[in-house]
A and B are shown apart, each in its own frame.
Chain A
Amino acid sequence: MERPGLPTKIYFMLHIPCPHCGLRNETEFHYGAEAGVAYPDPNALTDSEWAKYLHIRANPKGWLAERWVHFAGCGRWFSLWRNTITHEIGPAYPPFTTQPKAPGNIGQEGSRA
């Protein structure tokens, strides 16, 4: 799936590297919000901590680890580095695997072209 000449770490042209199927069109995927927000033990949290888990996310400008699902392909959930300003796509990784390093500084805006 990977085309020679493309950078190996950052994927362009609205393509997403599904860990199971390779590079596919972004339209085959659904977004699933910020990654790495584990379901907590609900009863160990105060009301305000629980409400924060439900409703509050970092939503930074720049690189963010997100959850995506390849709904029109293998149906698998995975996590993905994506730049929320430039829409650059970074490495993807299956759940419960080591998170790769962010391709750039988190919160760094960058340029869209």
Chain B
Amino acid sequence: MIHVTELAKDKIRALMEAEQRPGLALRIAILGRGPGGFRYDLGFVEAEDQARDDTVVDTGAFKIFVDAASMENLKGATLDYVEGVYESGFKIDNPNPLWKDPVAQKVQEVLDTKINPAVASHGGFVALLDVQDGTAYIQLGGGCQGCGMVDVTLKQGIEVVLKEEVPEIREVVDQTDHAGGKNPYYQPSKGGSSPFA
């Protein structure tokens, strides 16, 4: 189940009213994982956009649709709205671990403690997208996109460190779309407009 705080409900209700389209629902999806944890997508959809495998959460004020894959990692999460000097907007407090697979957990730890601090000093970041059969699928972001030296960082940096620190990893595959700043590996599975962006 996903919980929604009263403040978040009020904000969402106000945004829905501004849309002037009765019967809207909120769709929450996990797009992937980034340096700060899960990456979420929130958007309004029509009621008929509900898919067969969606989990539907009725908050009393509106309905939330969550696809099956995202729901796996959203159980017990709370959708809140925060307003402060340094941070304001919707926030999801998610108790689920970023990865359940132990190899992926190890890779994530190496990214968090060794790789990303170094890459961040060059304005970039590395996100783990998945680990399958000894292959780590990663995405490079920030200053890495369009950088001429990204192949050196990948081949002589990330790949070397990951293989050394996590012997189960035999290959590292860059899934970044360096072309357009988009990630082709994970695509949002459902459509919808987002006033939250």
A and B: bona fide binding partners: no
**Partner-B contacts on A (CB < 8 A):** none
**Partner-A contacts on B (CB < 8 A):** none
